[in-house]
Each structure stands twice: as structure tokens, then as C-alpha cells.
Structure 1
Amino acid sequence: MDIRSLVQSLKAEATETNERRMIVFSGTQSAGIDAAYTAIDAYGTDDVHLVTEQEGFRYDRHHPDQAATLLGQTKEIVVVDCHGKWTPDTIGQTVGAVDGGGLYIMLTPPLDDWNQQETSLATAVVSPPYTKHDVGCRFLDRLIRLLETHPGISIVSVDDNTRIDRYEPTSTNTAPHLQPRVPTQPQFPLRVYEQCLTRDQVRAVQALESLATPNTAIVIEADRGRGKSTACGFAAAALCADGIDVTVTAPTRDHAATLLAAAAETIENLDSPADGSISFQPVEDATKAANETSVLFVEEAAAIPIETLTKLTAATSIAFSTTVRGYEGTGRGFTIRFREQLDASSHHIQYCTLSEPIRYAGDDPIEQWSFRTLLLDASPPVEQAVSEATPETVQYQQLTQDMLATDESLLRSVFGLLVSAHYRTTPTDLLRLLDAPNASVHALLHAGHPVSVALVVEEGGLDSQTRERLFRGGRVAGNLVPDILTSHLRDAEAGAPIGKRIQRIATHTSTQNQGLASALLAEIRSTYQTQCDYLSVSFGATPSLVRFWSRNGFQTIHLATTQNATSGKYSVLLVDPCSAAGEQLADRHRNWLLDRLRGTLSGPLSSMDPDVVAETLGGIDRSTSDSVPVSLTDRQWELVGAVLYGPGLLAASPTAFEMLLCAELIDPASELTSTDRHILIRRVLQGWAWEDIATEVGHSTTRPTKRAIARGFRPIGMRFGGDRLAREQARYM
């Protein structure tokens, strides 16, 4: 059998079953490209996309860095060149683009010695002071093993004499595709349902009909390629045609592109004109306008923080849709994490899951291969196995990369835990987990099952030349904390101490709030106590997260002044010193943070959640700091006293009140109500207008809002001013 006859056989199999097939051309790059051209010619199509660094092809071609442009597209053949630059993400971004009946082609070096060659995989995960020679090959070994054993994959050696090394005619499920049925009494126009391609899509659209009824919430989950976004677009168009104003939001406008396109096309196909409207709003704008929104569609909801999703439930009716498994990560944990908040709302809730693929059959072997290879279907341990876990019943263990590579069940459980807690986990994170020389995995096990897992990466320990390059604006891969402290904050020596950054931490949803994550952090600190200078963590700041890390001994040393484009959160950086060098690093950055905080809070951080401001300031450890939090002049105390007990104006001494409030938030002692604290932060530190604060806290006028100043600051002033403020009080009493 030659390449042409192989391709024709695979095409016949794939077409008959509406599945895909895969060919691996193993050998030199030039021989692989020639073989790919032969395969394309034998298949008989120009609907081809090549992903390669090479240029000069007559077919559509993209550099591997732009492989993500294939997400949402379909081709009969996709060719991925693994001789040059590629990562596991390249596979995740491209494999879904092959239509039913099509071919996915990989060009690889000879499989027998591929893992002995230097590949771009090493570049993707290596970071100084390590070199590419320190990177493992466990992911590549696993990839080769699955290529050689998974159904639906043929392997052809193309060097010298072409040889078919593997071809097994695949007997697959040829059950007929179930044609969608239009509901007998639909509320939406029949033409909307006639566009649906699967019964799952019909069910989703029918569930979305109820959005026309106030206080309804629909949650739609699906693997990528199941048509959930298109179904939402159909429903949005039908609601719009019925005179309802529909708002669509998503982490970015690109995430909503499929929904908006489907809605626009549907509106054009409907007989009656649309009396309503469909508009897209960024998440921040949609949150502010939620209580005035009739119907809101939230695309890729798992990528939006739970706190923000909860605010979005102020919309009259709302639909949340999210991807369950796919290149970008997973939303499987979304329903579990968000269900409690959603159940607490006044909405009637429906859940809908789409499982039937649109572009190929449900038992497609290439989708199964990609899920298994990239662990897109990895799951945490089942709840019954870990539900009784407590800090007293678990065992701590550092899981070596060899352990994970040789124990598929353990690897799937660990990666499943990490994926369920972090939406943006990608296939390259699996590569990092298995092969990065600076990465280590730590776990608490209950009866052998991981219940809490942390991925820790080593940073710092950079030589003087690398530190100088970083200081001058160069990039050093895999060193987030040294990069921030050196490049952004101009600390030339920040890259010298060795840090261990907790990049990911996840606890099984059935065992949360029992102290397991804190117990794991204590074990990690004990492990690295004498091996590094500090532990660190960076994340999008929320009150609960900052509070958790502060309670576990981590100290705030940096707060970003721009919001993350996806989460809408400000990133915060905390450290837990383990040595004198770590203490020195933390101490100087704490002081530098205090020096700039008051100015940034009234400027770029003026929109930050006051609860985040309070928790962030509360996470600044002043135990080793020489700075005095409050040092007011006699005149400043006179002005403070006049505001708190007399006819004084707050604007006469803003600096004094800023110093007092910062000192209180850093070391809370006064019993401020949450509302008063909110008002004080908004007015004194963030410079909000009284009218805006009153609206935010629900006051009908500014009078009760202004009263919070004296009520909140009197105990704070007495705490730090003592007799000095008491004398001012006596003057007015």
C-alpha cells in the first residue's frame, strides 16, 4: 500500500462514518512535506490549511504562533509541521478544525529517535538558570506512545523508501445521525429551529425560550464544537424579533463573535422585522448595567470571576454558556463553583448540556485521541473517594515528574484538579507539569487520591549578567516575580534571591473550606524552608483570595495598576520570606508599595473594589518595617479634630486622613462596619464624588454617606492620636 491508496482508504472510512482520520508522516521535514502534498492530491481537495514556519505553499498557511486563528474554522485537511516551532497548544488549536470525513496530518521527525532530538518543546518551558538540556521528554514520550497505539491513526515512514508502519482499518460506530426535530409548540419561529443541526441544539434553543419570562437563568455547557454559541445566537435573534432588547457580554468581543454572527444571520432570515435590539457590552459595562438589562447572554462564563458573574445575575433573565473541554481549558468547575451563588438568586434555573458534535460523529477517534493526549477530559477524583478528607486524614507527598509520567490515573487526577480550578489551563501546562526543570508538584493524598495539589515553579537565582539584562528591559522566561520587581519596580537585585512561586493550587470541591489548602502550603513551606529565599504567589485580587494568602503568612508587596483584560482584576503579588535575603526583598518592596499606594489609589486604582483595597493593605506585614504609619503634625491633628468634632472640612487636610485610614487598614483594630469602611475608602483614598458613593451604597442622598466620615474616623483618630486628638475633641465639646 502506498500513500495514495492509504489516503483513499482513510477518506472512504471517514466519509462513511462522518469521522476524521489522522496520518503521521515520520521522517525529514522535506520528505514529510512532499508526502503531505501527495496525500492532499490523493484526497482531492484544495480546502487545506498548513501550520508551519516554512513559506511558499499554494494552500492557506499560518505560522505556529498564529495557529489559534483556526479555532472555529473548518477544513478538509489540516497539516501540522512538528519539525520547527510547535507546542501542545498547536495541536489543541488545530485538531478541531478538521471536518467530518477529513484528515489531520502531522509531520514529525522519525518517531524512533524524536525524543532524542532538540525540539521547540524545550524552549516553551525552559527558564534561567536552567538550559534546554535540563528539560525532560516525558510529554513527547507519551505523545509518541499514543500516536502508535490509538485507533484512527496511521503512521508512514517517508525517508528513503516510503513505508506504511501502521494502518488498521477502523471499525467505528456507523449509527445514523439523528436528525433534529422541531418542537410541536415552539415559542420561537419555526425558521429558528430549522437552522439547528443537532437535537442537542434544538434542546438548547427550546430551553432559551424561557428567557422571555422574567427571573429565568439558563446554564449551557458543552465541549467545543457542539454549537452552543450558535444556539444562543439563534435564541437571541428570536427574542430580538419579539421586541426584547438583548445584551451580550463575554471576556472579549472575540468570544462572542459566533453568537453575534448567528444572531445577525437569523434576523435576516426571519420574515418579520426585529422590534428589539442586540448589543455587545464588555463585562465591566454589563456588570454596571445588569439591573437595567432585560435579557443577558454571557459567553464563556467560566472565564469570568465568580464575583462578577454573581453581579451579572441582577439582569432580569440571563443565559450563561461555557466550554467544558477544549484547547483553552475547561469550565467543568464552573457549575460547581457558581451553583451556590446562582441558587441564592431569585431566578428559576435550568441546566442544559450539549454533547453531540456538529462537524463530526460523536465517537470520532481523533477527538478522543486529542482529549487523551492533551488531557482535555482529565477529571479530579470522584467525590466519594475524597469527601471525608480532612487535614488529619491526608498524607503530604511531593509527586515527581517520573511518578506522574508512569501513573496515568494519578496524572489525570492531578491535572484534572488543576484544570477544574483554573479556566485558562492549556495543553502546554501539561508539558510544563511533566518536563519543566523548574517545576514541582505537591499534593495531599487521601487514601491515595489527590485532594489538594499545588504546582510550584522556581524563579530567581539569576547571575549578574542576566539581572542586568532584565533591568535594561530584556525578558527572562519563566521568572514572573523577578521580572515584575526588576523591570517594573526598578529593583536591580530582585533576581538574585531564589524564589518558589505557587503557580497553581487547587483543592477538590467536595473538601474545600476545611483547611486542606492551608495545610498543603504549610508542607510546601517546610519543604523549601532551607532551599529558597522566599515563596511567592500572584493572582487577580479578590477579597477572599487576598485574605486567604495573608492568613497563610504571605505579605503584599505589589499591586498592579492595570486590570487583567480577561478577569477584570488587578494582579497582586505576595511573598513569604524564608531567609534573610527574602526578608530584605520583602521589606524594601513593602515600603515602596506604601510610598506609592496613596497616589495610585486615587489614580489608576480608583475603580478597585474597596474590599480588595482593604484586604490588600491588610496583607502588608509591618513587623520588620522601620516606617511609622502615622506621623501627623500638630496642625494636621487640629484639622482632623475640626472635621471629626467641629465645623472642619475634609478637603482641608486630605493627607492626614489618608495616613490615618491606611494605618488602620494595614493593622485593623477599629470596629468599622463594612459600609462605613467602603465609604471611607471610596472618598478618602480613591477620591470618589459623594453622589457616586451614595448611589453605590444605596443611599438616597449624600447626607448619610457624609456622616460616615466622622463616625468611622473617630475611633481611628483616638487610636493613633490619643491625648492629642482628645484635646481637640474637648475644644468642641
Structure 2
Amino acid sequence: MRERQLIPYFDKEKPFFLFQNRGSGLMCPSENTPLILNSQNFLHARNLLGQEFEHILFDARTTLNLDALAIAIGTLKAGGTLVLWLDSKDHIDLDSRRWSGVEKGIITPNFNRHFYRLLQSFLFLSEHSTPSFIGGRIGPPLRNHHQSPTIEQQNIIQKILTSPADVAILTAKRGRGKSALLGMLSDEIKHKKCWLTAPNKSAVKTLQDFAKQPIIFIAPDDLCQQIQQDPTQYQQDWLLIDEAAMLPLPVLHQLVSTFERIVISTTMHSYEGTGRGFLLKFLANLHRTFQQFELIEPLRWAKGDKLEKFIEALLLLEAEDNFIQPEYDPQTAMQIRQISQSEIVKKIVDFYGLLSLAHYRTTPLDLRRLFDAPQQRFYLAENEEYLLGGLWLMQEGGFQSMALIEKICRGERRPQGNLVVQSLAFQANLPQACQLHSLRISRIAVQPKWQQHGLGQQLIQTLIEQNDVDFISVSFGYTEALFHFWRKCGFVLVQISSYKEASSGCYSMIMLRPISVAGECVVKKAQVYFQRNFPFSFHPLKKKFTFPLDCQLTDDDIHILKNFAFFHRTLFSSIGAIRRLMAISDVQHCPLLMDYCQRKEKDVQLMGGKKNWLKQCRLEVAHLLTQNNIV
């Protein structure tokens, strides 16, 4: 196979002339125009997965989106050309508006040094920034697919078919023919019904192309619902799950609970944040027999492809595999210390490897944030040789404008960053949270072999002892184990989300740990607010957290009711105050609120959709306020 080419380009004019047209002449925009990716379509780049392109123009002059760049490189054919259009001058990277917490974006010097150093070390960029071709001229178009299995694919197919294990786990880097293998495997499954599921139906096109017979696709949520209704209906069937690591673990465990045979495929070293950390967490709670298989040889490009090595180095995709995991030693001399962002940049490979291992959803967005985002703090636990654990924190609060805080409470503004304090102001009617100074724990990570030995608690205790902020916050996907860990560290529960997070499949929790006297006051108010209002909700977790009913309507309730009736406060965060108001009111003119509180299912589409239904609920609350002479 011919090598793929990456050409850095710095001029102002569109670089179509750099694309060679099938062996002769120069390429014009009107003939065989390349795929063009830029800031207007970067967020839709995921739709390109499973496709292949011969020419790609990646316009990164104002916005360098690493997810889109990795996808573009993953879809470039052998012998293809990717022109990377760059601006050599220092400028605000508009992609930073997604992850920096700064609305206008920031300059990213640390990542830029990393990026340009790799361009030079892979010989894509000379000292004088002169574009040069890597490899020969582009030949005729390649076939889109290998229509028959390779020897490696065929061996794995036969092993899966004859394996006594319930679950076969297939892993591979991108471009190894993993989805194609699943398609060809489906043709070999005889006398059994075979089902297919994946996070996105459009992403299984390659799999379907390689299957001679159509495979029945069913969305993961629909399949889980059917399993809940009758788990026996699939006991004789096969299930293929493509890109399994993109599914929440609770969903994945439910999917593998009932089928006779399950084949799971997932991408290792993926820019979506699905690495070996996923396997650690999945296998820890898998109660069926399993066997692992891995595809090694690339099919879409040459072995040792320079572009693949470049994107792996740029996104630190090998950091997780190369991270050294020493055995637990209770006698080791360990130090916990705070370090600066510049020191983290020097240790970025190890720290990112630790994060990826502990949190398999670690993504390029996190990498960009680590390199350059402001208002960050870091703590490391180390012995003389190894990194054993770490804390990654974001500074929050310190708002000066009361007008801005009031708009946050009303739901009229949501500035970048400050995730927890804004949630406390908006959901819990606590404007003081925005004024105080706090630290939000973004990640805590401990070496797998050092977990369950108190190191996480030591990190938190050091953090508490060495900081003079008002309080510390943490937000996480609820599991009983995580909840008990944070409670053991002195944190109190103040908020549970109304819906499950798409990434974790869990409800999100916020817990706080006070430090100062002012922080103690805010944390106590947040805790009282939660315990006072949660019993009036209809949350699925309500039975796990029982608190006494408080039916007395207060001034805080009235403030909440006004923010719901006349501004943008959510129904979920206002339901306690609404039900207290309804208890002292004539509610015959509030049919929507009555139905909602009696859990009567209504088709909101008949009322003009959910938005209009919510608008009518706000009007009903406004009517009750007027009825009680509150407005």
C-alpha cells in the first residue's frame, strides 16, 4: 500500500493545487473536490465514521478540533492526502471555547508546542515550514472493502464460533477490519437468530456491507426495554454489539445478561475515550464466561503508517498502555504534593495515562484542558519511581456581579465554566455559592493495584488541609460505592439530577465538603434544601434517600416559584415549592399540574409539544401565586 500524506499548509489561498488528481495534472475545485472539514462542520465529523476518502482538506486556521482531526485521519485511504491548513501566528483557538471555561476562548501555547514538535519529528514540517509530500503520487482509487476475510480475521471468526465462552470480546485499533469481521461472522452463524446493536445505527454501515444477509438492528435502549419485559425471548439467540465501549456500562451489562452468545467489539486507543480502562471496569462486573480476541494488522493503510503513529502521539493514545503499574507496597515512602500546571505539562504522558486507566471516558477534550485551560490545580501521590494517584481540580466561584448571579438563578444566563456553583445557584436557589471561592474535583485517579488501600482518602485529606477555599465540590455518576466513598471523605449530598447521564448511564450527584465558616453555611443550606425538597419529587432514587416531609411554604419557596413562573427555572427543581403551594390553594384551574403530581401520563404533543406544555405549567403556577396574593 502507498503511504498516506499529511501536508501542513500556511498560505491564505485555498490549497486545492496540493491535491494530485489520480496520477496526472493538478486538481481543481470542480473535479474530484476533496472532503472539506472546518469549524462549521467539525461537530458532525462523527458521521464520517465507516467511510473512506482519498483527499481531505482540514481547515484548522481558527479552530483545531482534535476529535475531528482524528476522525479525518481515520477515514483517509492508503495513498490519500490530508492537507492541514494552519495559521502560523499566535491566535485564540476557538475550539477552546468548548473546554477552557472562557467564553471568548484562549491562546493555547502548551498544546501548540506539543503539536508543532510532533509535526517536525514526523517530518511533516521542515524547519522553514515548507509543505512537502510524504510518499508518491496518488494512484487509482482503492477498493472500498476487502470482500473476503484475511487470514487473521478468518482465524478469529473460527475461534469465536467454536469458543465455549458466553461472551467474545474483540478489540482492535481503527482500520483493522473489526466491523467487517462482525459482518462476516454473522454469515457463519447457522440455525440461530442474530441481532445487532450499536450506539449509532449509521455507524454500522461497514458491518452491514460485509454481511451477505441483512442483520436485524435494534437500538440499545429498545433492546434493554424488551429484555426487561421478557428476558427469556433471546435465550437461544446471538447478539453482536459494535463499539460497545460507547455504551453506558449499566446498559452493556443488561445487554449481555440474557443472550446465548454475545460478541462485543470495541476500539482500543480510540479518540472517543475508550481504552483498556473500559475493559477493566466492564470485566469487573461481568458474571459470564468470556474470551478476548485482538486484531493487529491494519487493512485500510500500511503497517507502520506514519499518520497513525502521528495521531497516536498527538492524542497520547499509547499513554495508557505504557503507564507503569507497580504492585501495592504498604512500606513504600509516598509523598502527596500540589504541583503547577507547567509541571503537569512536563508529566503529561504519565498523568494522562493514569487518568485514562482510571476513567476510560478520558478524551482529547480533557487533554486540551490539561495543557492550557486556566484556573486548574493538581495534586500528585508519588513514590521515588512511580506516579500512584492524582487529583485534578477546577477553581470555581468568586463572582462579583450580583446582577449576573440573579440571571443565573433565573436561568437567563449560563456562563462558561463554574459548573457546580452555577448548578447550586440555579437548582438550589443558592446565589451565595457563586460568590464564595471553591474547588471542584474534576477527577480523582488511583493506580488500579493501589485502590482500596486508602490512597484516595489521603489525597482528599491533603487537599482539605492545604486549601483555604470556602468549600470543595464533586459531581459524579451515582453508584453506591462512589457515594459511600465521598461520604467517608466528609462530603454531604446536595443534588441528584433528574435524568441519567448519556455517558455513564447513571444519575449525576453533587456532594460538598465545607472548609470555611462561610462555606459551612452554604453547604448546610444546600443540604437542607435538598432534604426538604427531594421527598416531593418523583425521582426513581427517592426510596434510597428518605427525609421527613416539610409542607410549610417559606419565603425561599416563594422566590423559587416566581423564578419558575416568570423565568426559566426547571419544573424538577421547583416541584417541592409547587406542591407546597398547591396544598394551600384551590387547584381546580390547574389541570396540568394536577395530572403531573398524580403521575397521569399525558401526550404532551396534544398540547403543542413539551415546550408549550411547560409554558402552560408556568402559567398555572402564576395563577396560584395571584390567587394567594403572593404576586
Category of TM-score, reference length = shorter chain: 0.7 to 0.9
Asked if 1:333 is matched to 2:277, the reply is: yes
Q: Which moved more, 1:510-519 or 1:385-394?
A: 385-394
Matched, 1:48 2:12: no
Aligned to 1:23: 7
Q: Of 288, 295, 300, which aligns to 1:354? A: 295
Residues 312-363 of structure 1 deviation map (CA, whole Å, 9 limit, x = unaligned) = 4422222222111122012212223333433x53x3x221011222211121
Q: Which of 237, 251, 265 pairs up with 1:321?
A: 265
Does residue 524 in structure 1 map to residue 463 in structure 2?
yes
Aligned to 2:575: none
| Shift, 1:436, TM fit | 0.8
* Contact preservation (8 Å) 1:68, 1:94: no
How far off is 1:156 after superposition?
A: 9.9
The 8 Å contact of residues 290 and 313 in structure 1, kept in 2 or not, is answered as no
1:198 aligned partner: 150
For residue 193 of structure 2, the aligned residue among 207, 231, 245 is: 245
Name the structure 2 match of 1:147: 119
Secondary structure at the counterpart of residue 156 of structure 2: helix
Q: 1:137 aligns with which of 106, 109, 112?
A: 109
Report if aligned partners of 2:249, 2:504 keep a CA contact under 8 Å in 1: no
Higher deviation after alignment, 552-561 or 513-522: 513-522
From 475, 483, 507, give the equivalent of 2:446.
Answer: 507
Distance 1:561 1:149 in 2: 49
Cα pair 2:175 2:301 within 8 Å, conserved: no
Q: Distance in 2 between matches of 1:494 and 1:350?
A: 50
Amino acid at match of 2:34: V
The one of 310, 319, 327 aligned to 1:369: 310
Q: Is the 8 A contact 1:325 1:331 kept in 2?
A: yes
Shift of 1:155: 5.3
Match of 2:100 in 1: 126
CA–CA distance in 1 between the matches of 2:208 and 2:427?
A: 40
Structure 2 counterpart of 1:542: 479
Corresponding residue of 1:229 = 179
Deviations 1:664-711 (A, max 9, x none): xxxxxxxxxxxxxxxxxxxxxx99xxxxxxxxxxxxxxxxxxxxxxxx
Question: What letter is aligned with 1:522?
Answer: Q
Contact 1:64-1:85 within 8 A present in 2 as well: no
**8 Å contact from structure 1 (residues 48, 78) kept in 2:** yes
Shift of 1:489: 3.6
1:499-555: per-residue Cα shift (whole Å, max 9, x none)? 211112222222221111121122222222x1x211111111111111111111111
CA–CA separation in structure 2 for the residues paired with 1:482 and 1:594? 18
Q: 1:132 to 1:267 in 2, by over 3 A?
A: closer
Q: Give the secondary-structure state (helix, strand or coil) at the position aligned to 1:329.
A: coil
Whichever residue aligns with residue 582 of structure 1, its letter is: G
Q: 1:227 to 1:79 in 2, by over 3 A?
A: same
Please give the per-residue CA displacement for 1:80-116, whole angstroms capped at 9, x wherever unaligned: 1122233333322322121110111111112xxx3x3
* Contact 2:491–2:511 (Cα < 8 Å) also in 1: yes
Residue 439, structure 1, aligned to residue 376, structure 2: yes
Counterpart of 1:285 in structure 2: which amino acid? Q
TM-score, with normalisation over the residues of structure 2?
Answer: 0.76
| 1:30-82 alpha-carbon deviations (Å, 9 max, x no partner) | 23x2x3444355565716211124xxxxxxxx523333333332111111112
Q: Give 5+ residue unaligned stretches, structure 1.
A: 1-16, 54-61, 158-163, 172-192, 269-273, 619-627, 633-685, 688-733
Cα deviation, residue 564, structure 1: 1.6
Separation (CA, whole Å) in 2 of partners of 1:238 and 1:584:
65
Assess, with a 3 A threshold, how the Cα gap between structure 1 residues 67 and 630 changes in structure 2: closer, same or farther.
closer
Partner of 1:703: none
| 1:506 alignment partner AA | A
Partner of 2:166: 216
Query: Which SS does the other structure have where 1:561 is aligned?
Result: strand
- The 8 Å contact of residues 444 and 520 in structure 1, kept in 2 or not, is answered as yes
1:231 maps to a residue whose letter is L
Change (3 A) 1:416 1:49: same
Distance in 2 between the 1:552 and 1:170 partners? 57
Q: 1:537 to 1:24 in 2, by over 3 A?
A: same
Residue of 408, 419, 432 corresponding to 1:470: 408
Structure with greater helix percent: 1
Cα distance in 1 for partners of 2:500, 2:194 equals 27
Would you say the 8 A contact 2:476–2:509 is kept in 1? yes
Q: Which residue of 2 aligns with 1:261?
A: 208
Post-superposition CA distance 1:277-296 (Å, at most 9, x none): 55444264366355542323
Of 122, 130, 133, the residue aligned with 1:165 is 130
CA distance in 2, matches of 1:429, 1:122: 11
| Secondary structure of 1:495's aligned partner | helix
What SS does structure 1 have at the residue aligned with 2:118?
helix
Distance 2:133 2:33 in 1: 26
Mapping 1:8-19, distance limit 5 Å = 17-19=1-3
2:285 aligned counterpart, secondary structure = helix
Distance 2:147 2:246 in 1: 28
The residue correspondences of 1:549-560 to structure 2 (distance < 5 A) are 549-560=486-497
Partner in structure 2 of residue 404 of structure 1: 344
Q: Is the 8 A contact 1:304 1:566 kept in 2?
A: yes
2:466 partner SS:
helix
TM-score by length of 1: 0.66
Does the CA-based 8 Å contact 1:500-1:534 persist in structure 2?
Answer: yes
For structure 2, the 5+ residue unaligned runs are 137-144, 552-597, 600-631
Residue 165 (structure 1) shift: 2.8
The corresponding residue for 1:669 is none
Using the TM superposition, give the Cα deviation of residue 595 of structure 1 relative to its aligned residue in structure 2, in angstroms: 2.4
Whether the 8 Å contact between 1:380 and 1:412 is mirrored in structure 2 is: no
Residue 606 of structure 2 is matched in structure 1 by none
**Distance in structure 2 (CA, Å) of the matches to 1:291 and 1:155:** 63
Query: Retained in 2: the 8 A contact 1:290–1:312?
Result: no
Residue 726 of structure 1 aligns with which residue?
Answer: none
> What does residue 10 of structure 1 align with?
none
- Report the Cα distance in structure 2 between the residues aligned to 1:565 and 1:123, rounded to whole angstroms: 22
Equivalent residue for 2:19? 39
Percent same amino acid at aligned positions? Answer: 25
- Native 8 Å contact 1:460 1:499 kept in 2: yes
> 1:38/1:338 Cα in 2 relative to 1: closer, same or farther (>3 Å)?
closer
Structure 2 residue 586 is matched with structure 1 residue 586: no
Distance 1:284 1:489 in 2: 33
Residues 296, 479 of structure 1: alpha-carbon distance in 2 compared, 3 angstrom cutoff: same
Structure 2 distance, partners of 1:317, 1:333, is: 24
Q: Please say if residues 381 and 387 of structure 2, whose CA atoms lie closer than 8 Å, have aligned partners that are also in contact.
A: yes
In the other structure, the counterpart of 2:430 is 491
| Alignment partners' CA distance in 2, 1:497 and 1:523 | 21
Q: Which amino acid aligns with 2:334?
A: V
Secondary structure of the corresponding residue to residue 213 of structure 2: helix
- Residues 84, 461 of structure 1: CA spacing in aligned structure 2 closer, same or farther, 3 A cutoff? same
Maintained 8 Å contact 1:290/1:311: no
1:595 aligns with 2:542: no
Partners of 1:143 and 1:46 in 2: CA distance: 30
Alpha-carbon distance between aligned partners in 2 of 1:255 and 1:588, rounded to the nearest angstrom: 47
